[in-house]
């Protein structure tokens, strides 16, 4: 390590580095450079102060929210932007700001630059950029080309979706946003549901057409809105933001870009925003870490915009209790666990409680041995298991509710879903956070297994008492 680097690291080790995370120090000592996320303090919390009822339409509401987020966060980020304007003459630093949250990303920051960042007024924290590893689904069977695509998948039937369809509600009029690995939009069960213009964004490559190198996102979309009995809400439209790259790693910067895209969609180049295209639901089959609130500003903005955030709880159930992932462990999202065809808790389904003692998941849905569209061809299918597969069942169910009653907001949707679940027969033989299967909600299943037909009818069955012995 040269003298200049030693001096810079020494400065960071002093009082001026109180805002610098220890992992940044470690990375600088090992590599000499580090990709960082800088979070600034703001004059106000936009989501808390925004009065959504003041706007006559949803589009006007979102446009006003976006404008307020942009103004407030640009003001907070100004000292950082000024510094980077000066630094641009001294090095090639890739610098990017976001408007949905008061953060900026900086690639290949040197110790000297990090020291300058730490001295800026209003800096709240400097940490390494996160790379969320999308939970690897369990492949139950090899991908099969053009198996029979008639009938209804077991998960779709188990939650009562066909009974809702029989009443004429199939998700019509609702757009579901998905943040994932991409999607094969030409697949035979997906092509009719693709939103088209303003329905696709890839922050990494700005590709003009949807694609999915991994299959995960294609599978998820199939369960939300696939035709031929694969999707819970087959008449819903879907849109995709591809946030996950090689190795199924989802960079924090891409996830923030996708959060902005969902709030106010753009064209495939990230330009010409049209907030009227914002989805009503955002389905997220990704997550990582615990008690990590780096995505809270995005989630709070979605909720203020009248959007429903649905998140997978993660596939760490084999490690026992207290394995719920972020952002699924946030208090204001719908966090989803997984069940089997026998209504048992899937072995991989992450359990609660959260690090703050909150009960999670909120609800469970079929997630084991789920057949859906895959990315190999337009007639490709695969059986996968994971909370990634359970989550789109819930997202599709919310689309059915909103198709019936478009004015429903998040809190009403939660109450409707949580008070109409199936509980009788659910079994895990576990106790997490002091809650056994006999207590509802619990840290294994949440409020129970989703039953969208009950929710659609407004039926609220009484929980079935059972012995804890």
Task: Show which residues are catalytic.
Answer: 180, 216, 388
Q: Where do the DSSP E strands lie in 146-242?
A: 175-180, 200-201, 237-242
- For residue 241, what are its two tokens? 């933001």
Q: Tell me the residue ranges of DSSP E strands in 152-306.
A: 175-180, 200-201, 237-242, 249-251, 281-284
CA 378 to chain centre: 26
* Burial of residue 358 (number of CB atoms within 10 Å: 0-12, 13-18, 19+): middle
Q: How far apart are CA 378 and CA 237, in angstroms?
A: 18
CA torsion, ordered 414, 418, 421, 424, to nearest 10 deg:
170
Q: b or e along 219-245 (b: 16 or more beta carbons within 10 Å of the residue's beta carbon)?
A: bbbbbbbbbbbbbbbbbbbbbbbbbbb
Strand partners, 126: 20, 38
Distance between CA atoms of residues 132 and 254, nearest Å: 10
Compute the radius of gyration of the chain from its Cα atoms: 23
Alpha carbon distance 105, 107 (integer Å):
7
User: Which position has the token pair 């007024």?
Assistant: 121
Q: Residue 460 phi/psi, 5° resolution?
A: -125, 90
Going through 50-153 in order, the beta strands assigned E by DSSP cover 95-97, 103-109, 123-128, 131-133, 138-145
The Cα–Cα gap between 45 and 42 comes to 7
d(CA 401, CA 415): 12
Q: Six-digit token pair at 452? A: 């969208």
CA torsion 65-66-72-74 (nearest 10°) is: 180
Q: Rounded CA gap, 311 and 388, in Å?
A: 8
Is residue 126 classed exposed, middle or buried when 0-12, 13-18 and 19+ CB atoms within 10 A define those classes?
A: buried
């Amino acid at each position: 390590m040269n003298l200049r680097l030693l001096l810079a690291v020494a400065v960071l080790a002093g009082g001026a580095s109180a805002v610098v995370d220890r992992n940044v120090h470690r990375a600088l000592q090992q590599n000499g450079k580090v990709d960082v996320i800088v979070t600034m303090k703001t004059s106000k919390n936009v989501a808390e102060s925004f009065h959504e009822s003041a706007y006559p339409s949803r589009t006007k509401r979102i446009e006003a929210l976006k404008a307020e987020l942009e103004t407030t966060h640009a003001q907070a980020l100004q000292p950082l932007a000024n510094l980077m304007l000066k630094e641009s003459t001294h090095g090639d630093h890739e610098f990017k700001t976001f408007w949905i949250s008061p953060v900026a990303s900086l690639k290949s920051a040197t110790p000297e630059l990090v020291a300058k960042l730490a001295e800026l007024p209003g800096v709240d924290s400097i940490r390494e950029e996160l790379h969320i590893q999308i939970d690897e689904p369990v492949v139950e069977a090899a991908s099969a080309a053009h198996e029979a695509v008639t009938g209804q998948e077991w998960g779709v039937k188990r939650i009562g979706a066909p009974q809702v369809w029989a009443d004429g509600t199939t998700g019509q009029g609702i757009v579901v946003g998905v943040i994932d690995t991409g999607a094969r939009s030409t697949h035979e069960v997906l092509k009719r549901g693709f939103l088209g213009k303003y329905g696709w964004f890839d922050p990494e490559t700005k590709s003009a057409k949807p694609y999915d190198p991994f299959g995960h996102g294609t599978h998820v979309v199939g369960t939300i809105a696939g035709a031929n009995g694969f999707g819970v809400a087959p008449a819903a439209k879907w849109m995709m933001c591809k946030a996950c790259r090689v190795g199924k790693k989802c960079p924090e910067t891409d996830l923030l870009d996708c959060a902005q895209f969902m709030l106010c969609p753009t064209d495939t180049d990230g330009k010409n925003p049209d907030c009227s295209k914002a989805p009503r639901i955002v389905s997220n089959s990704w997550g990582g870490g615990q008690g990590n609130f780096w995505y809270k500003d995005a989630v709070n903005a979605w909720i203020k915009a009248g959007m429903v955030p649905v998140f997978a709880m993660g596939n760490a159930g084999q490690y026992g209790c207290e394995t719920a992932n972020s952002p699924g462990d946030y208090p204001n999202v719908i966090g989803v666990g997984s069940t089997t065809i026998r209504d048992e808790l899937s072995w991989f389904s992450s359990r609660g409680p959260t690090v703050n003692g909150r009960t999670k998941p909120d609800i469970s849905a079929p997630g084991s041995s789920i057949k859906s569209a895959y990315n190999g061809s337009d007639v490709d299918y695969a059986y996968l298991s994971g909370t990634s597969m359970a989550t789109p069942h819930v997202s599709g169910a919310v689309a059915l509710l909103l198709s019936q009653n478009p004015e429903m907001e998040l809190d009403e949707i939660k109450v409707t879903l949580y008070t109409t679940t199936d509980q009788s027969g659910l079994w895990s033989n576990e106790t997490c956070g002091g809650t056994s299967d006999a207590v509802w909600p619990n840290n294994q299943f949440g409020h129970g297994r989703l039953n969208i037909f009950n929710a659609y009818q407004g039926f609220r069955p009484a929980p079935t008492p059972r012995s804890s012995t």
